């Protein structure tokens, strides 16, 4: 039985953008736009149940005031460098007041083991909703390393948003951080010998930044 809540996001816009991202011939500029487009929907879904507070707002046509709701918790978004940066604009468009922390992780090309080269996190993580954004959940090594770091820094309510997940990556998060929710549009078949997701979309960071 699963302990990690895995939310598979079903939406026509998500499917449409994912096909663009997967396509081998998609150029970087189109890839970047599709990454933002898919992230807008995924992040909106990942934030669906965050707390809100009721308020009254005066419209230009007074009276009466209209009832409204505002986000009532702090949101901290943590892109995992580099590829997570391709999802950051979407979060800041949806939650302009979000604070941003950065975690730099790089997979070794031969072992696929992630090592950390940077981190800068905001204070008071414990009272905030934390969104980790990293498009590829492959072995899960990067996600687990990011989650370990955040847990040590006091983060509690953490959600991971990715664009393609492998069963191996989900299992790794499940084993090490059973209280973390995962939001993904798809769970792919698995990993190849080089620990790339199949069918996947290739190296997200390279495709986003044209470094292939
Ligand atoms: C990619 C991706 C994830 C990681 C996933 O980053 O953005 O962070 O691999 O793989 P894992 O689940 O096996 O750890 P990469 O290390 O290639 O760095 P980059 O984002 O700088 O390209
Ligand atoms: N990182 C990527 O960018 N793609 C994969 O398939 C696996 C890890």
* pLDDT tens readout for residues 142-175: 999 999 999 999 999 999 999 999 999 999 999 9
CA proximity to 117, closest of 94, 146, 152: 146
Residue from 188, 203, 205, 212 to probe ligand 2 pocket by mutation (most atoms less than 8 Å from CB): 203
Burial of 146 (0-12, 13-18, 19+ CB in 10 A): buried
pLDDT band (50, 70, 90) for residue 14: very high
> What is the spatial distance between Cα 147 and Cα 72, in angstroms, rounded to a whole number?
24
Is the backbone peptide bond immediately before 86 cis, with ω within 30 degrees of 0? no
Task: Give the pLDDT of residue 212.
Answer: 77
Q: Which ligand is nearest to the CA of 190?
A: 2
State the CB neighbour count (10 A cutoff) for residue 202: 17
> Does residue 195 register a pLDDT over 90?
yes
- Name which of 51-65, 81-95, 187-201 the model is least confident about: 51-65
Q: Which of 85, 141, 195 to mutate to test the pocket of ligand 2 (most atoms within 8 A of CB)?
A: 195
Cβ-in-10-Å burial (0-12, 13-18, 19+) of 46 comes to buried
List, by residue number, the catalytic residues: 107, 111, 203, 206
Q: Is the CB of 147 under 6 A from ligand 1?
A: no
Q: Which of 105, 108, 119, 168 maximizes ligand 1 atoms within 8 Å of its Cβ, making it the mutation to test the pocket?
A: 105
Residues with CB under 6 A from ligand 2: 83, 136, 138, 196-197, 200, 203-205
Q: Is the pTM of this model over 0.85?
A: yes
Cα 66 to ligand 2 centroid, rounded to whole Å: 47
Contacts of residue 15, defined as CB under 8 A and 6 or more positions apart, other chains included, come to: 185
Could you tell me what percent of the chain has a pLDDT over 90?
94
pLDDT digits (tens, 9 = 90+) for 104-131: 999 998 999 999 999 999 999 999 999 9
Distance, CA of 161 to CA of 156 (rounded, Å): 16
pLDDT at 101 over 60: yes
- Give residue-wise pLDDT tens across range 46-60: 999 999 999 999 999
Ligand 2: centre distance to CA 197 (Å): 6
Helix, strand or coil for residue 203? coil
**Token pair of 16 as six digits:** 């449409």
Decide: 116 in ligand 1 pocket, CB within 6 A: no
Please tell me the distance between residue 54's alpha carbon and the centre of ligand 1 in angstroms: 40
Which residue has tokens 């604009």? 89
Ligand nearest to the CA of 108: 1
Report how far apart, in Å, the C-alpha atoms of 124 and of each of 76, 101, 177, 191, 194 are: 10, 12, 20, 37, 38
Would you say 190 and 211 are in contact if contact means Cβ atoms under 8 Å apart?
no
């Amino acid at each position: 039985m699963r302990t990690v809540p895995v939310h598979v996001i079903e939406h026509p816009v998500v499917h449409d953008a994912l096909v663009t991202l997967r396509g081998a011939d998609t150029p970087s500029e189109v890839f970047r736009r599709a990454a933002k487009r898919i992230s807008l929907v995924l992040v909106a879904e990942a934030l669906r149940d965050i707390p809100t507070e009721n308020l009254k707002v005066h419209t230009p046509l007074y009276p009466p005031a209209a009832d409204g709701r505002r986000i009532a918790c702090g949101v901290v978004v943590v892109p995992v460098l580099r590829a997570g940066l391709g999802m950051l604009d979407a979060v800041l468009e949806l939650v302009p007041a979000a604070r941003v922390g950065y975690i730099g992780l790089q997979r070794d090309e031969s072992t696929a083991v992630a090592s950390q080269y940077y981190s800068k996190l905001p204070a008071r993580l414990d009272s905030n909703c934390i969104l980790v954004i990293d498009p590829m959940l492959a072995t899960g090594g990067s996600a687990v390393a990011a989650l370990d770091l955040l847990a040590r820094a006091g983060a509690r309510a953490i959600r991971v948003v990715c664009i393609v997940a492998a069963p191996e990556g989900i299992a790794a998060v499940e084993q090490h951080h059973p209280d973390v929710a995962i939001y993904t549009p798809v769970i792919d078949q698995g990993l190849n010998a080089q620990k790339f997701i199949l069918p996947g979309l290739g190296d997200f960071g390279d495709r986003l930044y044209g470094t292939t």
